[in-house]
Amino acid sequence: MFKYFATALVAAVTQANELFEQNEQGQWALVVPDIPTLSFTDVDEATIEQWAENKEAAYEAIGEKWGEAWSSYVDAIANPWNEFLDQAKSLDGEQDQLDIQTMDEMFTFIADNTFIDGSSLSEKFPNIKEYLSNAEQEYLDQGNEMRDMVFDDLKINPVMLQSYYYHDTYWMDGIEYDYY
């Protein structure tokens, strides 16, 4: 055991001689290596400005590429969806026309086949079909305005689409867009 302790003590003293030295006052002090002197050269301000302008132009170019990528993405997503909505709106209009035709046929059937004192409603009230059709059309017109608005509100546009993802700035067609 003493042998290991002695070996460790000799190693520590040997390393201490490398880490410590006696100064002029006879005290032991940590050996500090020489620290290199730092200096700077003068740089031309025009060179720095040119460098900064080059970096800004590079970042703008990347921003424009992001804008183009975003536009491609929006077109890939928005165009098929918006075309579907246009088709759905058209089909909805066709269905409305079929509903009106069906309702007109129903009004005609009811007016021709409902009798009061032996006379049909069509005979007693000659304008009943027109009255019922107009009432139905007013009702449908109110619904169509709401439905058209809903179809149009569901359409994808770049501003709406980007608000679902994150907030940042991008360039498209030379315009800076801020989005969330």
pLDDT tens, position by position, 76-88: 888 888 888 889 8
User: 128-153 and 45-113 helices cross at what angle (nearest 10)?
Assistant: 160
- Average pLDDT (30-36) is 77
| pTM score, whole prediction | 0.44
pLDDT above 70 for 64: yes
pLDDT band at 167 (very low <50, low <70, confident <90, very high): very low
Q: What per-residue confidence (pLDDT) applies to 39?
A: 75
pLDDT band at 1 (very low <50, low <70, confident <90, very high): low
CA atoms within 13 A on the CB side of 60: 10
Q: Torsion angle, CA of 48/54/57/62, rounded to 10 degrees?
A: -120
- Give residue limits of the domains in the chain: 47-179
- The residues, any chain, with a CB within 8 Å of residue 156's CB and separated by 6 or more, are 74, 77, 78, 81, 82
d(CA 32, CA 86): 80
pLDDT band at 100 (very low <50, low <70, confident <90, very high): confident
Higher pLDDT, 136 or 143: 136
d(CA 155, CA 86): 9
- The residues, any chain, with a CB within 8 Å of residue 28's CB and separated by 6 or more, are 20, 21, 22
DSSP class per residue in 69-132 = HHHHHHHHHHHHHHHHHHHHHHHHHHHHHHHHHHHHHHHHHHHHH-EETTEEHHHH-TTHHHHH
d(CA 112, CA 122): 6
Q: How many C-beta atoms surround the C-beta of residue 70 within 10 A?
A: 19
Contact 110, 143 (CB under 8 A): no
Find tokens 């060179």 and name the residue. Answer: 47
d(CA 25, CA 33): 19
- Average pLDDT (122-150) is 77
pLDDT in tens, 13-24: 566 566 777 888
d(CA 66, CA 170): 7
pLDDT above 60 for 169: no
Query: What letter represents residue 81's amino acid?
Result: W
Q: What per-residue confidence (pLDDT) applies to 33?
A: 75
